[in-house]
Amino acid sequence: MFWVAKMLALALSSFLGRARGFDIGLSTKCVAIPQEMAMCQKVGYSEMRLPNLLGHTSLEEVVLRATAWQRLARTDCHPLVRTFLCSLFAPVCLDTFIQPCRSVCAAVRERCAPLLACHGRRWPRALDCERFPAGEDRCLASLAKEHGHPHKVLPKPACQSCPAVEEFFMHKRALEVFCDNNFAVKVKLSKKRTVLGHQDFNFDCQVEFIIQGSLLPYEMQNMIQQWLLINENCTERMSQPHRPMVYLLVGNIEDGVILVNNIYRWHKRDSQLTLATQKWRYHKCL
């Protein structure tokens, strides 16, 4: 996330002298970005313009409208998703409005629109990429080519139907399931409420073991968190309002896609599941 914030700061300083965005009238004002807009915290600036580029005239309206996009931003569906959304919801307080470039919008839409579709939502008309300038000398463009760093390409979580949650099984059956998959991650889920009363989720992902594969524990944790955010219908089913729940997510990574195939409730007194995880270290698959 640091490189995104750094990139935004560089972009703003680069385009400050040559931007030709919307003119700021006497009715606009600079205000602090509200804490409720977590996706726009630590993006390189702390004050925004009102009204913003989407026509929202009050902080209450901005926070309300941005809430639906916060979870999408957390999925990191595109490296510039936060930069793009914050340039619209919380434009930096400069002498001119700097719009995102059409190419940035198109790149974010290509990667993130399928996730909206997973939740039954379409890419909104208000974010139609044709409304943004095409020339990158007059808008907020990606500086990834100039300032980017090579990074490891990780598998992407898939939008999928929620596997049935299994409550009890013998340890021999668990070992068979482990042999048929290449990762297993222990996950703790709990619900929380945001300031506006909307439900959200806490993720406490702990990688107990990874079956085969070359992914590091923190990489696996990041992908599982993204899977839970993308497949919120499944996360909603597993979460309970008053107490945390622990699950074992088992699945495969194939062709650059991560799929969860089995979900098991992890009870504290479930000796069979505990026994299976202990035996796995020495188990030989047929």
pLDDT digits (tens, 9 = 90+) for 26-48: 467 899 999 889 899 988 899 99
Predicted confidence at residue 276, as pLDDT, reads: 87
Fold of 2-147: Frizzled cysteine-rich domain (1.10.2000)
CB 194 within 8 A of CB 36: yes
d(C-alpha 190, C-alpha 202), whole Å: 5
**Ranges for all domains in the chain classified under CATH 1.10.2000.10:** 2-147
Predicted confidence at residue 206, as pLDDT, reads: 63
Characterize 70-92 residue by residue with b for buried, 16 or more Cβ atoms within 10 angstroms of its Cβ, and e for exposed. bbbbbbbbbbbbbbbbbbbbbbb
Q: What is the largest CA-CA distance in the chain?
A: 74
Nearest Cα to Cα of residue 29 among 8, 56, 67, 63:
56
Q: What is the amino acid identity at position 274?
A: T
- Phi, psi (degrees; rounded to nearest 5) at 285: -75, 145
User: CB within 8 A of 1, min separation 6: which ones?
Assistant: 42, 82
CB 85 within 8 A of CB 52: no
**Ranges for all domains in the chain classified under CATH 2.40.50:** 156-280
User: CB within 8 A of 30, min separation 6: which ones?
Assistant: 47, 48, 49, 50, 93
pLDDT band of residue 2 (cuts 50, 70, 90) is: very low
Q: Which three-class secondary structure state does DSSP give residue 103?
A: helix
Question: What is the CATH code of the structural domain delimited by 156-280?
Answer: 2.40.50
Predicted confidence at residue 239, as pLDDT, reads: 80
The percent of residues above 70 in pLDDT, for the chain, comes to: 78
- Examine the pLDDT at 15 and tell me if it is beyond 50: no
The percent of residues above 90 in pLDDT, for the chain, comes to: 24
Among 15-29, 162-176, 230-244, name the one with the lowest average pLDDT: 15-29
In tens, the pLDDT along 238-266 reads 887 777 888 889 999 888 888 999 999 88
Residue 126 DSSP one-character state: G
In tens, the pLDDT along 153-167 reads 778 888 898 998 887
- Higher pLDDT residue, 9 or 114? 114
pLDDT band of residue 222 (cuts 50, 70, 90) is: confident
- Higher pLDDT residue, 194 or 2? 194
* Structure-token match 């992407």, residue found: 156
76 Ramachandran zone, left/alpha/beta (phi>0; psi -120 to 50): left
The structure tokens listed for 164 are: 């049935």
Q: Does the pTM exceed 0.85?
A: no
d(C-alpha 46, C-alpha 19), whole Å: 20
Characterize 145-162 residue by residue with b for buried, 16 or more Cβ atoms within 10 angstroms of its Cβ, and e for exposed. eeeeeeeeebbbbbebee
Predicted confidence at residue 12, as pLDDT, reads: 38
CB 228 within 8 A of CB 187: yes
Residue 196 DSSP one-character state: T
Report strand pairing: 183-193 vs 245-254. antiparallel
pLDDT band of residue 136 (cuts 50, 70, 90) is: confident
d(C-alpha 161, C-alpha 132), whole Å: 35
Mean pLDDT of 200-213: 62
CB atoms within 10 A of CB 258: 22
d(C-alpha 20, C-alpha 139), whole Å: 7
